[in-house]
Structure formats: C-alpha cells, structure tokens
C-alpha cells in the first residue's frame, strides 16, 4: 500500500467515525477517540485493535490523530540522500522521531513520538474534517 492509499483509507475511516458523533462537543469527540473506547467500539479503525495493542506505550493514548499533521510524505520521494530515496519526514524535526533506513529508501519513524496522541495537541489542532487537519501531509510533485 502506498502512503497515498493509506492516507485516503484512514481519512475515510475517520470520517465514518465522525458521522456517528454528529452533534457531540469537541470534548466528547476527543474522549470518544481514546484508545480504550476505540478498541471496544471501532474495531475496524486500526489493525492493532484486534489484539488490544497500542502503537505507542502511552497511558492516555488518543487515536484522533492516528497519523500526525506534522508528517510529510511524497509517494515518489523528495530527494536522494546518499543514494537512498527520502519518502517521508517530520516537519517539526521532533527529537523523538527517527528514520527507517533501508538499502535504497529512508522513511520517517514515528514509533518513539507521541506528539499527536496527546489530548492537548489534539485540542490545539482540532478539525472535524481529518483531511483538512492533514492538508499539508501529502506533498505533491511539481509536475502534478
Ligand atoms: S516524529 Fe512525532 S511530530 Fe514528527 S511526524 Fe512523527 S509523530 Fe509527528
């Protein structure tokens, strides 16, 4: 699956959940997206839910921003670094982020970072439309 395919899929899953929450306050919506509630009530939202597993070992994990608004990806790559294609980066250069470096690719590794999973961050960047909240995440080639 490409980044773009995943992005579309996750945005649509988010929209499906949001439909059920019409009329709820921001606080109620954020509360609904807590990991413990999502595991019970939205089993299709994340493949880890079936094993009751968190993507980050964080007690108050919130799944509203399953993907991070600070993430940047480009399906055909940004540039070459030491002969490897850089496919994704962190726009704020979080000190908790790192890189997956393979033979010919480099991907942003967010496994050590909980920035978008904190309630405070979600409140500050809240947007009921996930695609709007994530509008800068997908980077297009100049030719597109
Ligand atoms: S490293 Fe953290 S802040 Fe940066 S894109 Fe990943 S989750 Fe977001």
pTM for the structure as a whole? 0.92
Report if residue 69 sits inside a domain.
yes
Q: Count how many domains the chain has.
A: 1
Please report where in the chains the tokens 């395919």 appear, as a residue: 5
**Confidence (pLDDT) at 142:** 73
Query: 100 lies in which domain range?
Result: 3-133
Tell me how far the alpha carbon of residue 23 lies from the centroid of ligand 1, in angstroms: 30
Distance CA(107)–CA(38), nearest Å, equals 27
Find out whether 115 and 124 touch, Cβ atoms under 8 Å: no
Distance CA(18)–CA(103), nearest Å, equals 40
**Confidence (pLDDT) at 79:** 86
User: Does ligand 1 lie within 6 Å of residue 98's CB atom?
Assistant: no
Report if residue 141 sits inside a domain.
no
Report if residue 18 sits inside a domain.
yes
Report if residue 91 sits inside a domain.
yes
Report if residue 144 sits inside a domain.
no
Q: Would you state the structure tokens that stand for residue 46, as one six-digit string?
A: 């994340």
**Confidence (pLDDT) at 32:** 98
Report if residue 138 sits inside a domain.
no
Distance CA(57)–CA(47), nearest Å, equals 16
Using alpha carbons, list the distances in angstroms from residue 21 to 26, 42, 43: 10, 12, 16
Element containing residue 72 per DSSP (H, E): strand 71-73
**Confidence (pLDDT) at 141:** 78
| Ligand 1 pocket, mutate which of 62, 66, 74, 90 (most atoms under 8 A from CB) | 90
| Ligand 1 pocket, mutate which of 113, 118, 133, 139 (most atoms under 8 A from CB) | 113
Q: How many CB atoms lie within 10 A of CB 115?
A: 16
**Confidence (pLDDT) at 143:** 59
Find out whether 62 and 42 touch, Cβ atoms under 8 Å: no
Burial of 88 (0-12, 13-18, 19+ CB in 10 A): buried
- For the chain (length 144 residues), average pLDDT per consecutive 10? 95 98 98 98 96 95 96 94 95 97 97 96 96 95 65
Report if residue 139 sits inside a domain.
no
């Amino acid at each position: 699956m490409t980044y773009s395919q995943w992005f579309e899929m996750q945005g649509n899953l988010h929209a499906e959940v949001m439909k059920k929450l019409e009329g709820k306050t921001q606080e109620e919506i954020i509360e609904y997206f807590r990991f413990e509630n999502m595991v019970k009530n939205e089993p299709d939202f994340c493949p880890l839910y079936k094993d009751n597993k968190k993507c980050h070992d964080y007690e108050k994990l919130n799944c509203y921003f399953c993907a991070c608004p600070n993430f940047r990806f480009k399906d055909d790559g940004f540039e070459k670094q030491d002969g490897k294609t850089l496919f994704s980066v962190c726009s704020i250069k979080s000190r908790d982020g790192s890189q997956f470096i393979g033979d010919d690719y480099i991907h942003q590794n967010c496994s050590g970072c909980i920035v978008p999973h904190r309630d405070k961050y979600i409140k500050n960047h809240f947007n009921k439309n996930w695609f709007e909240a994530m509008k800068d995440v997908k980077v297009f080639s100049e030719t597109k």
